[in-house]
Amino acid sequence: MVRPAIIARYVFREAVVSVLFCFAIFLITGLIAGFLPLMQKVMEVGGLDLTLILFLVLISALPGTLVTVLPLSMMIGILLGLGRMAADNEVAAIKSAGISILRLLPPVLLLGLIGFALSLVCTLVLIPRGISDGRRLMQEAATKRADAGIEERTFFDSLKNLILYVEKIDSATGVMSHVFIRESSQPDEVTTILAQKGKVAPDPSGKAFILNLRNGTILKEDRRGDSTGSLVFESYVFRYPLAQAGMGTAAKSFEEMSISGIRNRVEAVIAEEATGGPEKIEYVRRVENFGRILVTQRFIHPLACLALALTAFPLGLLNIGNSRLNNVSLGLVMIFVYYAFTLATERVARSGLAPPELALPLPPLVFMVLAAYFIRCVQMERIPWLIRFLQGMILRIRRNRA
């Protein structure tokens, strides 16, 4: 007789291979769809240095991608692994040997717990650190090539208190035609520059954004819009210190902070605005609610791995039609329902209709209860009523089309 430990190791190995395969496919697809066009654009306008920085930004964003991709990989991978065993009658052989189907559950549960632990490390440590590193790297990129985001007929406002508009850019020479600049870094003066031609000049120190302008006009006005002077020029060097853009001085966002940092920031806001009017009270309420949502999400999002892994276990063993793709299709539907449910609970929490600590845990808890019901049905060798209902709907749709 085959020992349960051997079966558990076999099921775990089968599921791990499928999960890793799905994870690689989802991750590579996401990188190709989301980041390669960006990297191509940076290579065109930014050069090698900026490309390396953007590659590091990509690396710092990987923990957030992992938290999204890992639950999907768990669900589809477990369905494929168990589906392969069921299609080859291995599950039927296990049943005929008198071994309970629940003996197959511990490896799947262990896989879900591993995914939960990895995601928890990401949400608690790696994602906040990655967001902070990503912002720092983007500031470094802006320092090296502040003009990297300039495009034709598009307002460029990446630098604080500076708006730039260019009608046309010669891709060969980098010469810009019909340049509009509005700079408002001074507290009591706004400068507007109109030039026929312009070109970005490198700054060896990397501390300023420099434009060599030709044939234009400089208009100055106060904050009320009254003109304070004008100047016509043939050649003018516009220099904008990057220190004026506030780079490196902005406070950390909530997403970059640890849980203790979020709580300290919320307490500081409450202490500062405690004696304010209705608008300040509403502001404090929104900040406090937002902080509670972020803290709760860092523990709840990793539970998606465990909830979807447990849900995938009975779905992979169900006999739904002749093709195992029916089970995978059902798994995709369950993934859609899970994340739609997650978005709905987040909206409820953000609107203040329910405390985040009560609303946000509902999707994983509901799916775990649903998984327990499905497992019970599989153990009793009957199809759950929800699956039968979906099958009936699909059959009716096919009959109506016929």
- How far apart CA 308 and CA 75 sit, in angstroms, is 6
For residue 394, is pLDDT > 70?
A: no
Average the pLDDT over 290-311 and give the result: 93
**Quick one: which of 378, 364, 338, 331 has its CA closest to 76?**
331
The rounded mean pLDDT for the chain is: 81
- Number of Cβ within 10 Å of residue 362's Cβ equals 16
pTM, two decimal places: 0.73
Residue 361 has pLDDT above 90, yes or no: yes
* pLDDT greater than 60 at residue 390: yes
Residue 96 in this model has a pLDDT that exceeds 90: no
Amino acid at 262: I
Judged against a pLDDT cut of 80, whether residue 294 lies above it is answered with yes
Which range scores top for mean pLDDT: 1-5, 64-68, 193-197? 193-197
Q: Is the pLDDT of residue 251 over 80?
A: no
Mean pLDDT of 272-277: 65
Contact indicator for 91, 317 with CB cutoff of 8 Å:
yes
What is the β-pairing status of strands 227-241 and 208-221?
antiparallel
